[in-house]
Amino acid sequence: MTIRKPRFSLLLPLLLACFGCGNQAPTPYIGIISAMDTEIKHLLKEAKIQETKSVGSLVVHIGTLKGKNVVISRSGIGKINASSGFTCVLNHFDISEVIFTGVAGGVKDEENVLDQVIGTKIVEHDYGIQGNDGFVWCGGDPGRREPGEYYECDSKLVDLAYESSLAVVKDQKTFKGVIASGDQFIASSEYVDYLDKEFDAYACEMEGAAIAKVCQACDLPFVIMRTLSDKADGHANESYVDFMDVAADQSSSIVLKMLESL
């Protein structure tokens, strides 16, 4: 009786089925992050969501948007929520670049509600020393007592966001410049003047520097982009309520335009 040896060509598909998945490179995704649900709702309507899952305390949406593989998530408000939430996302997905989108308060006199700000650099404006003589900003190092760290957004993503904004936003202006992050909703004309003079900021918000810090640590290209819902002055609360949804959708529309070229 002749025993035939199994042909390798027949075994190969079985071996690939058993072991191949573990050797495949993970799918790279574009990470799209916002602080609040209202800032990603327009994107989720446009996306083809293949899976929604919980990652830690976050709800993460995995799918495609404008033909690109994306992970879309709400991080939560403030720097701690943003950094911890985004880190959880990075621990579960291979992210190739990061777009943070949403609303912010305007700082410059020449800005108006629904203008767009594309961050070139991000700074943490509330990091420093509170002493008897008041607050001293120290950037990333409270021992230095001097101006500290700015986080540079990726120049290619900045240019793409800027050009996309010009194409989408017809009736408002688009600015490129510094975005200042801190754990306060700013509604003070006096503090807005401080942000302008101290940092030359164009917008103030609560998450960008935290996302930027994580991206810098992980060597990920990123851009922070914001539509102005208010002027961060004494009328900021009323303006924010009135324009938040419109501003959030406008920022999302610019993201959609960006994805066409990424």
133 as an active site residue: the answer is no
Could you list the residue range(s) of the whole structural domain that residue 254 is in? 27-259
* Domains contained in the chain, number: 1
Q: Which domain CATH number covers 104?
A: 3.40.50.1580
110-154 residue pLDDT tens: 999 999 999 999 999 998 888 898 888 876 554 544 445 789 999
Q: Would 253 be classed as within a structural domain?
A: yes
- E strand spans, the chain: 28-34, 48-55, 58-65, 68-74, 94-106, 116-124, 128-131, 134-137, 150-152, 174-181, 201-205, 222-230
- E strand spans, 107-221: 116-124, 128-131, 134-137, 150-152, 174-181, 201-205
Q: Would 35 be classed as within a structural domain?
A: yes
Q: Would 5 be classed as within a structural domain?
A: no
Q: Would 21 be classed as within a structural domain?
A: no
51 as an active site residue: the answer is no
39-51 residue pLDDT tens: 999 999 999 999 9
Q: Would 9 be classed as within a structural domain?
A: no
Active-site hit among 111, 124, 149, 230: 230
Q: Could you tell me if 97 and 30 are in contact, meaning their C-beta atoms sit under 8 angstroms apart?
A: yes
Q: Could you tell me if 60 and 40 are in contact, meaning their C-beta atoms sit under 8 angstroms apart?
A: no
For residue 176, the model assigns a pLDDT of 97
Q: Would 2 be classed as within a structural domain?
A: no
Q: Could you tell me if 195 and 180 are in contact, meaning their C-beta atoms sit under 8 angstroms apart?
A: yes
Residue 3 has pLDDT above 90, yes or no: no
Q: Would 11 be classed as within a structural domain?
A: no
pTM summary value: 0.85
Q: Would 19 be classed as within a structural domain?
A: no
Per-chain mean pLDDT for the chain: 87
For residue 18, the model assigns a pLDDT of 40
